[in-house]
């Protein structure tokens, strides 16, 4: 091959080890940096390669600070070593490119021969196509550039290897079409050995074997690939491969070798097709699902006139990078060219490209001389459409903002494919297959960080790297900017940058590098919307929840729900909001930060009014929902205006619970927003509503935090009514969390304030809470008068809910005291009142307490009936702690009645539920009940574990009665295990506690 060239003719080879020849002399290129720089330029012949990309190619690890300078030195050295090197390696703006004739580079020759083969096949000349493909494949001397491979070059080499195998497959297909068979087997076996999972090669080998009379070997190939696919990928062979296998089994005539057609006269082939696609990012990472989706869309649209595949998504989500990658993967299917143009619909600091300019650019790319391009838009449109007739061309229209411009650039006939990227979905672009690009998955985000930053740095700080991806909102632009900052600051750790990003007020400032920034990218989307949408976008960012529905949006914006939905849908179309579910909208974290950055003195009044409207809405809606969910709750006048906004459908308790569950986060956020914006009265009354829901669902830590903040707000206002209400709620939260002494102080202050105000309802609640807290602390004598007073006040005020709750606590006190008849009497009255109210949550507790009291009287069957009733009315919406106690007690009763299987099932469910609860008093009680059950079941070791856990928690929070019962349980378990000394020690400690609490003998054993 070298002898065909002139004496000093330059020749460059990359389809194998890197070679540069001058005539018959192989040139020495210098060191690895020079070789990698030249190899990278040769892989993209004729195209500009920026210095930054050459730096990436030259160094596998972190490049030195002088990398750019070293690249320029390497280029200068190459120019000295290559004859007329300055005419070969040209400086082109920010980078370099190589200028070579088609026959000076084996890669260019390979591409030209493949295109020639495609043209010959399209003209019905398979023999010429086969000749061209064989010549193309003969250019390969082995793997691409193995001697200079680095991450960038290896990625390009992999793509070229795919082209090589694709060319081989086309060669074999043409040969099979001409009736060849036996002569193909050896080459096919060689390739299938190197690419064992490539099903098309295996199909061709099976056909060649079958047509050579080797049916058994063909069937063995199918069995071999089937086993390999199952073992390696867990999938079955493709339908195409299976059809060939089945055809061989039945000796289908369709598989017989075709009769070779007569070859037509050769047709001249046009010049090499143009390609102006940007280079495919070497560090492209993730988006596998989206790539498959786009490639499938492109394949489906192949017969349309023309096919349109479009990508929309928020700024910075990686639309262009994905589109370019897909375009490169589709390039060979469009042999007449692959053109790219940036329409600059959303490019910082630049005006969008006009239609006339776009057409002129595309016509030049097709080789139309400048003096032949018409001056007017109509003429250019006609010239563009004429130039595309009969061509199979791929057109990538990047950064489009206008449907009309896209339509103007559309090819006129089938066979072409148009890829479009846009920040907004161009809804009136008929016939387009749209893919909306969201943020990256967590795994893909960390993968991108690893690819761009380096696997070693990620491995050294895996948790910080994962948090970096989260703080960047899994947005590719933000991730690339963050990792670029880290690369430019080698002394920074990932953790250090994460600390800086945690400050939301400066996060957008951190995510910028030079002229690139997340804020600038988002600002373009924002500025292209109308003024009314810009104002709405800023106000919606004030919403305290992660999700926004149309009702809360309408309240915030001061519109009706229909207009609010229209605004949200428009913002969704331009990707300034997201839609996680039907009727629900959300901000990406970085978009919300950007929207909040738009606030200032000029918007303060409008923002304040919007917050007020939203708080009025949430207060009114929550009040209505509580009326349905918690019947008998005292109604209070808030002194605040009801909302004018439209409320959601809260027609029954089920709908109210659904609304509360969906708005849980937003409601808690609304309390914080109210305090931050100076709406303390809203904060207190809204807290009162929200804590009812939190208490019922077992969210006790949040219940406490909101109650404490409400107390602070009431103190700031100096409003004793609000203070009494807030202290009353805080006392209950302290009880549930086992903070009994703190709860006593809070309840005493609440009682004092309520007495001063003459607020007898809050007085009754405070008395009840003091009775409850003193009872768990083992101060039964102090607890009893508080509870009697609370019951009397509830009955006197005709507050049925208050009376029933106090009776339930009184029943628990009597049961712990061993006064079982009185406990049964109080519990029965509480159950009657709860059923009268229709309060299932309270009834579950009162019925469970009734069963516990009946157990003390050894009335097991009656206790079982109570517990069955409680289990029937309980579900996953109720406090898991309460339901856990119910199930544990049910297991105990079932065992006593001789039903061990039911007892075991209920016990397992009880323990699982109560361990998921944050209410220690329920966990302690459940563990003690189940510990006693284990001892009776003959499993003292398990009983020991449960009672030890109960003792540790009970002693830690001062839950004296359950501490004593845990010690009794430990004594029995130790005795069963033969540890008499430990049993006596535990029994003595228990007796001391029981004596101090005044619990008689009957109340000490359960």
pLDDT of residue 4: 37
Summarised one tens digit per residue, pLDDT across range 943-993 is 999 999 999 999 998 899 999 999 999 999 999 999 999 999 999 999 999
How far is it, in rounded angstroms, from Cα 574 to Cα 317? 13
pLDDT of residue 7: 58
Summarised one tens digit per residue, pLDDT across range 827-862 is 999 999 989 888 787 888 899 999 999 998 989 999
970-979 exposure pattern, b = at least 16 Cβ within 10 A, e = fewer: bbbbbbbeeb
Summarised one tens digit per residue, pLDDT across range 530-569 is 888 889 999 999 999 888 999 999 999 999 999 999 999 8
- The three-state (H, E, C) secondary structure of 833-861, written as one string: HHHHHCCHHHHHHHHHHHHHHHHHCCCHH
- Report the interhelical angle of 288-300 vs 319-330 (nearest 10°): 50
The separation between CA 721 and the C-alpha centre of its own chain, rounded to angstroms, equals 45
Q: Are the C-beta atoms of 704 and 746 separated by less than 8 Å?
A: no
Mean pLDDT, residues 174-180 taken together: 86
Q: Are the C-beta atoms of 394 and 417 separated by less than 8 Å?
A: yes
Summarised one tens digit per residue, pLDDT across range 279-316 is 777 778 788 888 888 888 887 765 555 788 888 888 88
Mean pLDDT, residues 722-728 taken together: 91
The separation between CA 1005 and the C-alpha centre of its own chain, rounded to angstroms, equals 53
How far is it, in rounded angstroms, from Cα 790 to Cα 799? 11
Summarised one tens digit per residue, pLDDT across range 895-938 is 999 998 888 899 888 888 777 666 788 889 999 999 999 999 99
Query: H or E stretch including 613?
Result: helix 604-629
Band of pLDDT at residue 942, cut at 50, 70 and 90: very high
Helix, coil or strand: residue 202? helix
How far is it, in rounded angstroms, from Cα 674 to Cα 613? 11
How far is it, in rounded angstroms, from Cα 315 to Cα 203? 44
Mean pLDDT, residues 113-120 taken together: 81
pLDDT of residue 364: 85
Summarised one tens digit per residue, pLDDT across range 780-797 is 999 999 999 999 999 999
Block residue for tokens 């009955």: 795
Q: Is the pLDDT of residue 268 over 50?
A: no
**Dmax over Cα atoms in the chain, in whole Å?**
117
- Report the interhelical angle of 860-873 vs 880-896 (nearest 10°): 150
Helix intervals (H) in 528-560: 531-540, 550-557
Could you please report the per-residue DSSP string of 434-457?
A: EEEE-PPPHHHHHHHHHHHH-HHH
Helix, coil or strand: residue 340? strand
Q: Is the pLDDT of residue 717 over 70?
A: yes
How many Cβ atoms from other residues are within 10 Å of residue 531's Cβ? 7
φ and ψ at 427, to 5 degrees?
Answer: -60, -25
How far is it, in rounded angstroms, from Cα 279 to Cα 47? 9
Q: Is the pLDDT of residue 317 over 90?
A: no
pLDDT of residue 1004: 84
How far is it, in rounded angstroms, from Cα 792 to Cα 802? 10
Summarised one tens digit per residue, pLDDT across range 477-514 is 888 888 888 887 878 888 888 888 888 777 877 787 66
> How wide is the angle at C-alpha 737 spanned by C-alphas 731 and 739, nearest 5°?
65
pLDDT of residue 26: 86
Band of pLDDT at residue 267, cut at 50, 70 and 90: very low
Band of pLDDT at residue 378, cut at 50, 70 and 90: confident
60-94 exposure pattern, b = at least 16 Cβ within 10 A, e = fewer: beebeeebeebbeebbebbbeebbebeebbbeeee
Q: Are the C-beta atoms of 242 and 225 separated by less than 8 Å?
A: no
Summarised one tens digit per residue, pLDDT across range 585-597 is 888 888 888 888 8
- Report the interhelical angle of 653-676 vs 700-717 (nearest 10°): 50
Mean pLDDT, residues 178-191 taken together: 85
pLDDT of residue 941: 93
Residue 208: C-alpha distances to residues 176, 183, 205, 253, 942 (Å):
7, 8, 5, 15, 69
Q: Are the C-beta atoms of 525 and 574 separated by less than 8 Å?
A: yes
Burial environment of residue 303 by CB neighbours within 10 A (0 to 12, 13 to 18, 19 or more): exposed
The separation between CA 914 and the C-alpha centre of its own chain, rounded to angstroms, equals 30
Mean pLDDT, residues 877-906 taken together: 87
pLDDT of residue 752: 93
How far is it, in rounded angstroms, from Cα 752 to Cα 758? 10
Burial environment of residue 580 by CB neighbours within 10 A (0 to 12, 13 to 18, 19 or more): exposed
Among residues of the chain, what percentage have pLDDT more than 70?
A: 95
Facing residues of 105 across strands? 12
pLDDT of residue 969: 93
Q: Is the pLDDT of residue 230 over 90?
A: no
Beta strands in 569-656 (DSSP E): 578-581, 584-586
Query: What is residue 898's DSSP assignment?
Result: T
Q: Is the dihedral of CA 693, 698, 702, 707 positive or negative?
A: positive
Mean pLDDT, residues 268-277 taken together: 63
Token pair for 423: 């920040």
How far is it, in rounded angstroms, from Cα 495 to Cα 457? 11
Burial environment of residue 854 by CB neighbours within 10 A (0 to 12, 13 to 18, 19 or more): buried
pLDDT of residue 259: 59
Tell me what the pLDDT averaged over the chain comes to.
Answer: 85
Summarised one tens digit per residue, pLDDT across range 665-711 is 899 999 999 998 999 999 999 999 999 888 888 788 888 999 999 99
Could you please report the per-residue DSSP string of 212-269?
A: TT-HHHHHHHHHHHHHHHHHHHS-PPPHHHHHHHHHHHTT-GGGSPPPPPPPPPP-PP
471-483 exposure pattern, b = at least 16 Cβ within 10 A, e = fewer: bbbbbbbbbbbbb
pLDDT of residue 1: 32
Helix, coil or strand: residue 312? strand
How many Cβ atoms from other residues are within 10 Å of residue 387's Cβ? 16
pLDDT of residue 641: 86
How many Cβ atoms from other residues are within 10 Å of residue 257's Cβ? 16
Summarised one tens digit per residue, pLDDT across range 509-531 is 778 766 677 777 777 777 777 88
Q: Are the C-beta atoms of 997 and 777 separated by less than 8 Å?
A: no
How many Cβ atoms from other residues are within 10 Å of residue 652's Cβ? 10
Q: Is the pLDDT of residue 87 over 80?
A: yes
How far is it, in rounded angstroms, from Cα 677 to Cα 607? 10
Mean pLDDT, residues 628-643 taken together: 85
Is the whole model's pTM more than 0.75, yes or no? no
Q: Is the pLDDT of residue 139 over 60?
A: yes
How far is it, in rounded angstroms, from Cα 316 to Cα 322? 12
Band of pLDDT at residue 349, cut at 50, 70 and 90: low
Q: Are the C-beta atoms of 127 and 263 separated by less than 8 Å?
A: yes
Q: Is the dihedral of CA 688, 693, 695, 701 positive or negative?
A: negative
Residue 13: C-alpha distances to residues 109, 143, 160, 324, 872 (Å):
10, 12, 13, 26, 80
752-772 exposure pattern, b = at least 16 Cβ within 10 A, e = fewer: ebbeeeebbbbbbbbbbbbbb
How far is it, in rounded angstroms, from Cα 569 to Cα 540? 13
pLDDT of residue 350: 59
Helix, coil or strand: residue 971? helix
Summarised one tens digit per residue, pLDDT across range 726-746 is 998 999 899 888 898 999 999
Between strands 89-92 and 95-98, the pairing is antiparallel
Q: Are the C-beta atoms of 950 and 962 separated by less than 8 Å?
A: yes
């Amino acid at each position: 091959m070298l002898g065909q060239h002139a004496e000093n003719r330059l020749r460059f080879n990359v389809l194998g080890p890197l070679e540069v020849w001058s005539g018959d002399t192989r040139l020495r290129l210098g060191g690895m940096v020079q070789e990698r720089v030249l190899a990278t330029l040769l892989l993209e012949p004729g195209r500009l390669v920026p210095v930054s990309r050459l730096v990436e190619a030259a160094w596998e690890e972190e490049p030195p600070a002088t990398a750019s300078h070293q690249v320029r030195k390497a280029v200068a050295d190459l120019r000295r070593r290559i004859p007329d090197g300055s005419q070969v390696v040209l400086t082109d703006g920010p980078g370099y490119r190589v200028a070579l004739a088609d026959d000076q580079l084996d890669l260019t020759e390979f591409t030209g021969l493949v295109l020639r083969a495609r043209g010959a096949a399209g003209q019905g000349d398979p023999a010429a196509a086969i000749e061209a493909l064989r010549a193309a494949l003969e250019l390969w001397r082995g793997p691409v550039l193995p001697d200079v491979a680095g991450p960038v070059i290896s990625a390009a080499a992999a793509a070229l290897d795919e082209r090589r195998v694709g060319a081989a497959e086309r060669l074999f297909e043409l040969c099979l079409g001409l009736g060849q068979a036996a002569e193909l087997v050896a080459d096919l076996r060689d390739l299938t050995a190197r690419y064992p999972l490539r099903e098309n090669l295996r199909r061709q080998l099976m056909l060649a074997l079958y047509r050579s009379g080797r049916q058994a070997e063909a069937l063995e190939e199918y069995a071999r690939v089937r086993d390999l696919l199952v073992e390696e990928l867990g999938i079955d062979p493709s339908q195409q491969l299976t059809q060939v296998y089945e055809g061989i089994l039945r000796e289908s005539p369709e598989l017989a070798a075709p009769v070779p057609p007569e070859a037509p006269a050769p047709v001249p082939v046009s010049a090499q097709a143009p390609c102006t696609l940007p280079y495919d990012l070497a560090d492209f990472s993730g988006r596998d699902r989206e790539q498959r989706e786009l490639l499938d869309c492109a394949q489906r649209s192949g017969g349309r006139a023309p096919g349109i595949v479009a990508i929309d998504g928020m700024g910075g989500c990686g639309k262009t990078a994905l589109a370019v990658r897909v375009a490169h993967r589709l390039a060979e299917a469009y042999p007449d060219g692959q053109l790219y143009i940036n329409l600059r619909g959303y490019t910082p600091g630049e005006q969008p490209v006009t239609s006339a300019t776009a057409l002129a650019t595309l016509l030049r790319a097709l080789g139309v001389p400048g003096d032949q391009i018409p001056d007017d838009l109509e003429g250019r449109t006609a010239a563009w459409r004429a130039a595309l007739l009969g061509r199979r061309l791929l057109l990538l229209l990047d950064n489009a903002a206008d449907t009309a411009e896209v339509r103007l650039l559309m090819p006129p006939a089938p066979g072409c494919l148009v890829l479009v990227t846009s920040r907004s979905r161009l809804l009136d672009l008929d016939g387009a297959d749209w893919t909306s690009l969201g943020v990256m998955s967590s795994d893909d985000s960390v993968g991108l960080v690893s690819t761009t930053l380096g696997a070693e740095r990620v491995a050294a700080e895996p948790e910080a790297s994962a948090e970096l991806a989260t703080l960047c909102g899994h947005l590719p632009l933000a991730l690339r900017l963050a990792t670029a900052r880290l690369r430019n600051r080698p002394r920074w750790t990932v953790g250090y940058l994460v600390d800086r990003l945690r400050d939301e007020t400066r996060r957008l400032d951190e995510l910028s590098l030079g002229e690139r920034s997340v804020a600038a990218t988002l600002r373009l989307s924002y500025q292209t919307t109308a003024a009314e949408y810009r104002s709405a976008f800023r106000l919606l960012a004030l919403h305290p929840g992660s999700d926004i529905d149309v009702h809360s949006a309408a309240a915030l914006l001061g519109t009706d729900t229909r207009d609010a939905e229209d605004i949200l849908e428009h913002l969704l179309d331009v990707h300034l909001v997201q839609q996680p579910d039907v009727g629900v909208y959300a901000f990406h974290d970085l978009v919300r930060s950007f929207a909040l950055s738009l606030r200032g003195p000029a918007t303060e009044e409008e923002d304040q009014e919007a917050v007020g409207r939203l708080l009025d809405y949430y207060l009114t809606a929550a009040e209505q929902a509580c009326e349905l969910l918690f019947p008998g709750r005292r109604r209070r006048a808030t002194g605040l205006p009801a909302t004018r906004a439209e409320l959601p459908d809260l027609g029954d308790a089920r709908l109210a619970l659904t609304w509360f569950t969906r708005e849980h986060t937003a409601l808690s956020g609304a309390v914080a927003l109210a305090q931050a914006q100076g709406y303390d009265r809203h904060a207190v009354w809204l807290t009162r509503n929200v804590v009812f829901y939190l208490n019922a669902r077992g969210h006790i830590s949040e219940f406490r935090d909101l109650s404490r903040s409400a107390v602070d707000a009431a103190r700031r206002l100096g409003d004793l009514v609000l203070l009494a209400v807030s202290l009353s709620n805080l006392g209950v939260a302290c009880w549930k969390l086992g903070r009994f002494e703190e709860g006593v102080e809070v309840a005493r202050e609440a009682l004092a304030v309520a007495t001063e105000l003459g607020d007898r309802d809050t007085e009754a609640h405070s008395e009840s809470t003091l009775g409850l807290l003193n009872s768990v602390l083992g101060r039964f004598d102090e607890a009893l008068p508080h509870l009697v007073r609370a019951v009397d006040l509830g009955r006197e005020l005709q507050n049925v809910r208050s009376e029933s709750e106090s009776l339930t606590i009184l029943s628990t006190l009597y049961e712990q005291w061993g006064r079982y008849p009185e406990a049964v009497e109080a519990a029965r009255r509480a159950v009657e009142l709860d059923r009268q109210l229709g309060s299932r949550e309270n009834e579950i507790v009162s019925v469970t307490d009734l069963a516990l009291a009946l157990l003390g009287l050894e009335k097991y069957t009656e206790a079982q009936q109570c517990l069955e009733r409680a289990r029937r009315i309980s579900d996953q919406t109720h406090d898991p702690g309460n339901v856990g106690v119910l199930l544990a007690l049910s297991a105990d009763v079932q065992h006593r009645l001789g039903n061990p299987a039911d007892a075991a099932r209920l016990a397992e469910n009880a323990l699982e539920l109560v361990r998921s609860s944050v209410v220690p008093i329920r966990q302690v009680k459940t563990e003690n009940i189940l510990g006693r059950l284990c001892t009776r079941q003959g499993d003292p070791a398990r009983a020991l574990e449960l009672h030890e856990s109960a003792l540790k928690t009970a002693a830690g929070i001062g839950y004296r009665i359950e501490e004593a019962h845990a010690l009794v349980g430990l004594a029995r378990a130790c005795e069963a295990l033969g540890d008499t000394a430990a049993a006596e020690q535990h029994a003595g400690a228990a007796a001391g506690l029981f004596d101090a609490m005044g619990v008689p003998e009957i109340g000490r054993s359960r």
